[in-house]
Each structure stands twice: as C-alpha cells, then as structure tokens.
Chain A
C-alpha cells in the first residue's frame, strides 16, 4: 500500500492504519478456517462485545431481555420498518426487536410510536422526547477512511444528524498538507447522541466509518470540564 501523507493522522489514534489493514486481511481467513459462516453467526450473538441496537427507550440489555415479551408490536408500529425481530442467529435474544441502522435507522418520530406500542414497558413509556433516547453512541471507528478527516468536504453524517450541532459538531482545524484549507472534522458528543444511526446509514463509504456502538459507561471524576 502506498504511504499517503494523511498517515500522520494515524499516529494519533489507537488503531493504526497498518494494524487495521491487517485485521481486515486476516479476519476472513481466520473465520473461514474456524468454521466459516456458521461460526461467524455464533460469534455475532454470543461474543462479549455483541451489541444489538434496540428501539428507543429500551432499558440496559440484560434488563431489556428480561422484560421484552417478544410480541413484535414495536416493529409493527415503526412507520419506517426500521425495527426488525431477531432470528435464531441472535441466540438468547431471539425474537427481540433490533435496528440495523445501515439498512434503516431510527428516524426519531416525535410521538415515538414504538414506545407507545410496547405492552411490557421494555421500551420505557417515560420516554416522551425522542431526543432523550439513548440507544447507543455513534463512533467514528475508522478515521483513516473518513473523508472529512482526510480534508474532503463531506460531513454527510453531520449535516444529516437530527441533533446537528449538538450530537455532532464540526471542529475545523488547519490542513497542514495543503497549507490553505481546513479539515472539517465531525465530532460526536456522547451526552447528546441518541444512537439513532442516521449517520451510519448516510455515510458515503462502502463500509460506514461512523457506526453506532454500545454507549460506554460514564466514568466519574471531579473535573468539571
């Protein structure tokens, strides 16, 4: 792979470009040799990092699994058909509702019909304001492939964010490579991000570089900034 000047970026991130490429190269090989697609499906549901994006108002995963009655009414209520019901590949979570944002994200309906339709309270009826939903958090997982971070004027995720300038902001900085342009970097703010996945849906790369992940737990300290 030809080394590009943009590589200096990589040094600032925990996931290096090289490691990243290697991972991409090796994974199919590893998976193939250890049982192919079938093992892949198993990994998906039972792995420690497994994360299914739940509809708005869903409680923490173990609680949610305990209270969801798998009736599918939330899926029926979704006007965009965004809510799907998990199949056998989900293991213990079979029959529970989830969202694949790259296919159809949550559009944050003002009246939250999925929450209203939930008979069990697994989707918390106290959630009235869709902007307060916390389904997950969008994360730019692949800075090297993010066109905005490479200095192109993309920022599609930012302009499509329903909480534009709150959940995603643009932090412009000088582009030392050209010397006269600015890099308009999208930055996600976890306190505002609903995890709706519209950014993941609209990302222009073949593999979205911004994806919704499980919101990491808050870690307390005494700094007030």
Chain B
C-alpha cells in the first residue's frame, strides 16, 4: 500500500489511540523484524566512491548484493557521517541501464559481443596502429577514480610495455596546477598538512572553493571548529556567493583572474610593513622568477618551458612594488583597506592560518602561478609545516592523489614524484618494472587537452578511455566530440553505464566498479585506504585492471604482469618499492586491511600527519625544525616565486559581455553517471540551471525560471535560470553546473590552459546571455 503523507499523519493520530492498549507487544515484534532484516548482512569497509575527502563507509552485503551502506564510525575522516551522495552509495551501482556485456559498434548501433571478440578487436586495432604509425599513435585516458592497481597497470603497460608516454588522467583537468606548484615550490607533490589542521587552526582562507557543496563532510568539520571557538574566522574569497559564503565570516569578491593581483597585493603589504618571519625566510626559503607573458595554449602543439632564475629577497621586494593595495583595488575590485586587512590576518603572529583551495585556483590559465602565490604567503610568514597552520589543496576525486599523482599516470610522470625526462628516474622505474630503460621514452607525451587535439589531427588514432567521461567534461567539447568519430579513429570506452563518451565509442567494455573489485584509493590528506572485493560485478562486467592486463597479454606484454598469487598484492608490493626511502613511503599491503587508512610517509607502521616537520615527519632530523628535504636542488628550501598578474585568455567584451564559470553541486558528482542513476538525487536536483545575478537578469528582462540561452564563441545551451538560489554569481558573471548530460555545458568553455600545468581554465570565458 502506497502511503501518502496525509494518510500517514492520520494513521499516526489513529494509532495513538491504540498505543495505550498493549501496543508494547507489537513494538517488540517490529524490533525483532528489524533485527531479522539485518541478519545475513556482512559489513565491509571501503572509502566512499565520490570526492577526494575520502570518507569511510561500511558496505552491507547480502546474497551477493549491496543492500546497505552507512558511514563508518571508525573512519577518522567522517566518523560515521556522509554527505547525501555517500548516503546513497548502495544505489549507484544498480541503475537499470548498467552495462553488462561488451558492445561493438556496427554502423550507428551497438551489438553485443563476447569478451574474446571485443578484446580481440581492441588488440588488433592497437597492434595495427602501433605497427603502422608507431607507439605514439595509441593512448589511454584514465582517471583519478582509477584504483592504484588500475592506474599502475595502465602506466606500466603504456610506458614500460608499448613504449609511449601517451597516458593521461582526467586529473589533468582538475589537479594539475596544484601538482605543478607542489613540485616547483617544494620538490614533491601533495600537501604537508592534513585534515587535523581543520580543528587546530583558527583562520581559514578559502580561495575559489565551494567547500560547503564540493567537500561536504570536511566543511562540517571546519564549521564545527568555528562553533567551538569564537576566534575562528573563515574568509571566503571568490567570484560567486555560495553556501560556503553563507557560513563564512567574510566574503571578498574579486574580478575573475585577479586573484593573482590580490595575492601579490597581500604579499606587498606583508613585505612593505615587515610582517614576515625573517628567520624562517633566511633558513627555509629561496626566491625565484620565471618567464612572463606565457600564453594560453590555444594553438595546437603549443610548447612552453619555464626558465626559472634565482633572485634575492630584495629583487622580490622590488617585484612586489607595483602591487600596492590601491593598484590591486583597481585590478581586482577589492578595496585597498581590505587588502591590508587580509595581509594583517595572514601575518598576525597570534593567528594559525590555513589556506584552502580547489578549482578556482587549479582551473586557471595561470593555475600554477596562483598556487605559487598562495604558498608565498605561508612561506613569508613561516606558517607552514606546523600543526594547525598549512596550505591545503583540496582534491575532487577519490584517488586523484593516490593514483593519478602518486602512481604518476600523467604523460610526464613516473611513480613517486619521478618524471620521464630524467634518465635516473627512467632507470629506476625500468629496473623495478623489469624492462630495458630505453623502453620508457624520455619525451613526455601530450597532456590531456593536447591528447584530444592529437586525436582530432590524427596523430593519435586509437584511444582507450577508462573510468571517466571526457566527451562530456572536456572544455571546448564539440571539437573533441567530432574528433572521436572521425574516420580512422578507434575509441574504446570502459564504463559501468552508457555515457556521453560511450556513445562515441567503437567498443564499449562493461566495467566492475568500487566494491565489485579490490582497490586502494588515496585522498586529499595523503591517506591511503584499502577495500576488498565484496560483490561480483553484474553480467559479464570486468575489473579495469583485468581489461588492461588482457590487452597487455594480447599485445605480447603479458610478462609485465606475470604475478604469482593475488595480482593486487603483487602490484602493491612492486609499486611500494618506488616509495620506500623517498619520503612517500607506503606500508606493506596487509597493513591497510585493518586500518581506516594511513597518511604517508608510513615508517614502521606509523603514519605522518605533518610532512617536513620535526617530531612528525621521520625524515626531518632532530634540530632541523622544518626541512623541505625533498627540494634537494634548492638545498632543502622552498621557493617563493615572483609571478605577475596576467589577464585570462578570453575576457568579456561587447559581443560576449558575461563571464562563465562551470562547477559542481552537492547532489551530483562530476558528470552524474552515478548520482544521476539514484532517483532520490535526481529528484533533489534534476537538471542544470544557469545562475545569474538578479540585477543582470532584470536588465535583460529575465525572470526566475525563465529559459535562457547562453552562448560562447564555441557553443550554446538553453536552460532555465535561477535567481537568488544556492549560488549567486557576482554582477557580470554566470555559473552553470556541468553534471547534466542533456546539456553539454563545457562545450561553452574555452580550452585555454595554464602553460606550466596544462590544466584548462573552466572558470573563465566570455558568453552572452539572452532570454530564450
């Protein structure tokens, strides 16, 4: 019987009458039934499948099916809580249209095939392309949702087997700027701090981050610190008012791209008023300057190499001279006195300062620079490496850190901070992989955007896409969508559901997901988390790891994966050799079975909360205090970079007068291939809307929920508008969430990228807005 609300209320009232008359008995019976319902459920631990926060969940399995999930009370990240996506984890794998059989394109339709047929075809296409056009004509595009094993196997096969660096993760679209800045500032990827800083600090600068929606459970930790401690201040800096702004103590809106000027303005005041920590700078910092006017990568085969030059503190001081608060006000729109106020807060000796950021910084045509400039403030004031005061780059995928970055599934990287253009690194990698060093090409492959351009040009002909949906998420989509269907291209997509990428494929391979396989993810705070396989994948779906190894065997590279016993354990122990003794040390495989993750470096079973910090990081010797020991080239010091303000690739003009930014909402994740299959989440947020400032809407005669056409030089979408909703862009800006597969919103975005990190700028392009 379907219970309507009214009937329910009445029933409750009616039932109250019975309550006195011996209902205890019935209550007891129901309790027994509830217990019986729980019987037969076995619970296992796993990290959540969604964002980079890395909440722990308990997965309840009965009769080979996930019947329940709940937050893991023992998980230190979330202590039993979840966001609304995590709450519905048990449903994400059971959408009705789950892919269960390999599919091969025949003209305009897909026909079911056996694995043998499908993999035979894939291998034949790889072989043919490699024979005819060389190993650089094939590529794999993976993800920060790859398990460590999947990413590792893909990197080993492509770099060590096929002999091409044509491997990229979608993390290039989201974390690459953070990576580039970690490397050029500290000589090692990933943060020094951890989530404990959210409780231990008292001042939090959030730059271009809507933590309230994109990192939900972490945000509730931050807010709790504020509730406990009236000293705590949250300062939100951005171009759109969000749910994060609502909870912040202060909102500092600035014009898009001018965070570069604002950060330099804050540094200017710190240096001008001598608010810096002179001792810290003397002992731990050197100054550098790089190339300027560095372009936007809009042309194919764009090349850029930075030329860092050492400079002195005096030269740096000179460099900052133009960024007076008044000048910064002119560029950014932030009042001069606010610039001074921010500088005072950053440098206040009594304040424990943290900087947190996400896509506003990373998806930025000067993403590496803006990351550098944030580190500058911490390095000038010495607020780094100590409990409660750190810069923390938040991540958006469950294993952007653990797989994409640590395993190094980028075209220029190798495991554990190593790179392909370093002969020693290639040597070390080859020896662990058991391949000749000459096998790994010294030249980095194309980065993600260039990879899709190469597909369009025909330099890449065969591409395998695993665990990601680039033909919805890439910027300037239409060029790349067309490229995928060009003659002579062959696209393989492994996924669990039909997506906007599978529709362009030649072969679709049904994958196992999450607890349908064994896995390891690594979250934002360097926490490595393991889970066991708990259920079988549906139909004939297979683990991506199995798929990759299958291709390896068919291409004659099976010897790379001749493991005895558990493949996962063998891969882990092999991979672990890369990390041992490097400051990125991982523990033996079995260690992770019992714990709710450990933060590396793990030495003698002990995790590290704060890297580079004496008493916390075992690599820092007694008496050193803070030591950036990974930056050997700079004598164990970190770098303060002189980086200027430069305008974005495309700014609003007469024809396209608005800024466009795309991003996330709490209810959906990435392209909603999983969350879109959960009816409750779909009902909660069914489709994308465009957020417009009410003043702009009024001027254009647009009312709430009117259909609006948003057009850029690259595409157009029509969708309803929302005024005064959960997000409110500043005047002259509009915002659209990119999850909606019926609206390819990223088609509007320009594929300009940061020349250093090669990460595209999804947050800034010019559009016009009309009533549709």
Residues of A whose CB lies within 8 Å of any CB of B are 1-2, 18-28, 30-31, 37, 40, 43-44, 47, 49-51, 102, 107-111, 141, 147, 151-156, 159-160, 162, 164-165, 170, 172-175, 177-184, 200-202, 204-205, 207-208, 211
Contacts and interface: CB of A to CB of B under 8 A. Distances in A.
Contact of A172 (B4, B17, B199, B227): B227
Given A102-B4, A107-B705, A141-B9, 8 more contacts: A26-B14, A27-B10, A27-B12, A47-B10, A108-B704, A156-B84, A172-B220, A175-B224
B684 interface: yes
Given A154-B83, A182-B220, A27 B14 contact: yes
Contacts of A179: 79
A164 B724 contact: yes
Contact of A22 (B19, B35, B81): B19
Contacts of A30: 11, 14-15, 17-18
Given A1-B34, A25-B27, A151-B81, A181 B5 contact: no
Interface string B2-32: 0111111111111111110001001100110
Contacts of A26: 11, 14-15, 18-19, 23, 26
B605 interface: no
A19 B10 contact: no
A202 B684 contact: yes
B33 to A, nearest CB: 9
A208 B680 CA distance: 11
Given A22-B27, A207-B8, A208-B5, A181 B19 contact: no
A21 B83 CA distance: 25
* Interface residue SS majority, chain A: mixed
Contacts of A174: 224, 227-228
A160 B665 CA distance: 11
A27 B15 contact: yes
Contacts of B220: 151, 153, 172, 175, 181-184
Interface residue tally of chain B, by bracket? Answer: 35 or more
Nearest to B35: A2
Nearest to B33: A1
15 contacts: A30-B18, A44-B7, A109-B705, A110-B703, A153-B81, A159-B665, A164-B724, A164-B726, A170-B247, A172-B227, A173-B227, A181-B81, A183-B220, A202-B685, A204-B680
A153 B83 contact: yes
Contact of A21 (B30, B82, B683, B703): B30
B16 A19 contact: yes
Nearest 10 A-B pairs (CB), nearest first? A27-B11, A153-B216, A178-B79, A23-B12, A26-B15, A23-B15, A153-B83, A182-B224, A204-B680, A110-B703
Contacts of B217: 153, 181
A40 B23 CA distance: 21
B221 interface: yes
A160 B38 CA distance: 34
A28 B1 contact: yes
Nearest to B85: A153
Contacts of A108: 704
B199 A180 contact: yes
A18 B221 CA distance: 31
B666 interface: yes
Given A23-B16, A159-B243, A178 B5 contact: no
